[in-house]
Structure 1
Amino acid sequence: MMARKDALTCGIALCTFNGLSYLDEQLTSLLAQDRQPDRVVIYDDGSNDGTWEFITEWAQRAPLSVSVHQQSERVGYVRNFEAAVQALDTDLIFLCDQDDVWLPHKIALMAQAFEDQPDLLLLHTNAKLVDANAEDLGISLFDALELSELEHAAVLTGNALQVLCRRNLVTGATAAFRRRLLDIALPFPAALVHDEWLGLVAAAYGRISLLDAATILYRQHANNALGMPLEKSKPGGLTPRGDFHAKFAVRVAELVSLLSELTPAGAVEPPPILQEMKTHIEFRANLPVENVKRVASVLSEWKSGRYGIFSNGFRSVLRDIANY
């Protein structure tokens, strides 16, 4: 099949560390894509199990452009990915873990979404969770994340930043982004995992989206650098209001600070909505103890509209008035 003249080039950033057990299956799945990648870059973080020798030999016989690099000393998976993505000059960059299996439609499906939506900066998808032997665990990634309908709708309607400030939903193994995102997002901060950071920056200064379709078999095993908790949270009442909002306020303040430090071409300031969120969450974390003052403060905050944007509307108002 001939490539479209307007087709975006696609590069894969694969990071490895002692992953020999699963690499053959993953690399085979990359070559089995309906739409072949234009380039693959593999960065190894000092493996000593034969991984380096395996990927070096594979790169020599692969029917596409592959470059391999090995870190001179252990840098960790975030810094390893930071190096790998910078080595790609393709329009789109796909993040790739060593132990998963890509479904054949992944690149074609995701690249098409970017070609159809020029303003789309980052895209992530669902996945099938499998065990160490790639046996289906009967649960999807979005199910394991307990992705709510409200969160799903917020991402699709351009309000992903509000969701991602609360918690990360972007799993790097399912994600792809336009290379221009790196102009803003580099260097990756030490305080966050790379996929979380890329999602936040993309949502703050562009648009991200998600696809319900699974694009990988997301392997869960004892040596995952990051895995999914498969047990559903147990019922046990609400988290104390003060504790929850105090922790959330700290997180949002850290994100505002990190985003304020970005210095791409031209001055970039965090979106005003992020500062508005910070103001609201700090307010909820520090409600007055005295009943009259608390009620007056909550009603004033309600009039600002922030309860409807950043909390659960009048339900949250009533909870804060009751100080519960």
Structure 2
Amino acid sequence: MIDILLATYNSSQFLDETIKSLLDQHHTEWRLLIRDGGSEDKTQEIIKKYTQQFPGKIVSFHSAGRSGTCENFSVLLSKSSAPYVMFCDHDDIWLPDKISKSLSCMKEQQQKYGDNTPLLVFTDKRVVDQTLAVIDNSYFHYQNLNPANISLNRLLVQNVPSGCTMLINRALADLCRNIPKEAFMHDHWVSLTAAAFGHLVCLDEVTILYRQNRQNVFGASKYAWRYFIHRYRQGGYAAILERFYQNVRQARGFYDCYKDLLDQEKKEVVREFASLKELSWINRRKVLLRHRIFKTGLRRNMGMFLWI
């Protein structure tokens, strides 16, 4: 059995398509847990329709007021009890073999590492526009991401696995059940936890259509010089610096949560990165170099070393 976690907010435009793509999965042993963050459109009507049509298989939870994506996924993770967990965005289309392929890969990894080892399987995704026209056949290519860069030190500054492509086992789900407010996003926190205590495995196949639209909380932009220029023009130095230090604050929260469980080497990496803001200009760069805390791509790393 797999618990699929779906967080919604004003999702009525594409939610029907998303849920139908789940219902069309070849693997049918799953339960959908939905938490709405206080939608003001017809999202809750759509959710009610499916919970009534598929009682027990589709279950909904409502927040008391407005709640964000990370909080919604954290609550849903605490409600989950299945041996495996997947995360679903409210506007994507799952290809029919997404669950079956991910689960097959996961079971191979469990044979290799054991059921009690925290494991995360992730895949590529096809980037499409609102009408599902293809923008790029590979998210990794579109964003210039290397799916091999999934060690803890690399993930501290750049998350590679997307939550909507993840399948995690119960050992990992239990470890990251309560995601704190310091987490930048749920999938980044889950990736860090897997890297710290278990293994991440990339299944190099496309399993979803990743829709780019104005409602995306965090969308994808093509990796190119004009992207960096656009980011600078949007918010300037302060905005770029703030985004970087969101990772640092997340690392501080991660250290506080897991310092008693981390091995000495990983504890040192996380602790020093979490203290980055307190260091001098030269010592900040020494920490990044000493622990090889790099992003994918020369331009990203040039920017990081220039701006922090």
Q: What is the TM-score when the length of structure 2 is the normalising length?
A: 0.77
Aligned residues: 276
SS of the aligned residue for 2:85 comes to strand
Larger Rg computed on CA atoms? 1
Shift of 1:72: 2.0
* Structure 1 partner of 2:141: 143
Where do 1:1-324 residues align within 5 Å? 9-62=1-54, 65-118=57-110, 119=113, 121-148=119-146, 152-155=147-150, 160-191=151-182, 192-230=184-222, 232-234=224-226, 254=249, 256-262=251-257, 267-269=260-262, 271-276=264-269, 286-287=281-282
Distance 2:270 2:62 in 1: 42
Cα separation, partners in 2 of 1:235 and 1:228, compared to 1, 3 Å: closer
Cα separation, partners in 2 of 1:94 and 1:55, compared to 1, 3 Å: same
Q: Residue deviations 1:277-311, cap 9 Å, x none?
A: 765996x97549xxxxxxxxx9xx9xxxx759557
Q: Amino acid of the residue matched to residue 24 of structure 2?
A: A
Distance 1:110 1:20 in 2: 28
Cα separation, partners in 2 of 1:137 and 1:42, compared to 1, 3 Å: same
Cα separation, partners in 2 of 1:153 and 1:194, compared to 1, 3 Å: closer
Shift of 1:136: 1.0
Q: Residue deviations 1:3-43, cap 9 Å, x none?
A: xxxxxx21101111111110111111101111114211111
SS of the aligned residue for 2:253 comes to helix
Distance 2:94 2:282 in 1: 48
SS of the aligned residue for 1:93 comes to strand
Q: What is the TM-score when the length of structure 1 is the normalising length?
A: 0.73
Identity %: 26
Cα separation, partners in 2 of 1:20 and 1:122, compared to 1, 3 Å: same
Cα separation, partners in 2 of 1:146 and 1:76, compared to 1, 3 Å: same
Cα separation, partners in 2 of 1:269 and 1:27, compared to 1, 3 Å: same
Q: Amino acid of the residue matched to residue 38 of structure 1?
A: W
The question of whether the paired residues in 2 share the 8 Å contact of 1:44 and 1:52 is answered with: yes
Cα separation, partners in 2 of 1:51 and 1:268, compared to 1, 3 Å: same
SS of the aligned residue for 1:210 comes to strand
Q: Amino acid of the residue matched to residue 27 of structure 1?
A: I
For structure 2, the residue ranges without an aligned partner over 5 or more in a row are 229-240, 296-301
Distance 1:48 1:84 in 2: 21
Distance 2:291 2:256 in 1: 29
The question of whether the paired residues in 2 share the 8 Å contact of 1:52 and 1:70 is answered with: no
Distance 1:17 1:262 in 2: 28
The question of whether the paired residues in 2 share the 8 Å contact of 1:252 and 1:278 is answered with: no
1 or 2 for the larger relative contact order (CA 8 Å, sep ≥6)? 2
RMSD after superposition: 3.5
Shift of 1:104: 0.7
Cα separation, partners in 2 of 1:15 and 1:307, compared to 1, 3 Å: closer
SS of the aligned residue for 1:123 comes to strand
Q: Residue deviations 1:195-236, cap 9 Å, x none?
A: 101100111111112222111100000111110113523499
SS of the aligned residue for 1:90 comes to coil
Q: Amino acid of the residue matched to residue 110 of structure 1?
A: S
For structure 1, the residue ranges without an aligned partner over 5 or more in a row are 1-8, 237-245, 289-297, 313-318
Shift of 1:64: 6.5
Q: Amino acid of the residue matched to residue 272 of structure 1?
A: E
Cα separation, partners in 2 of 1:168 and 1:271, compared to 1, 3 Å: farther
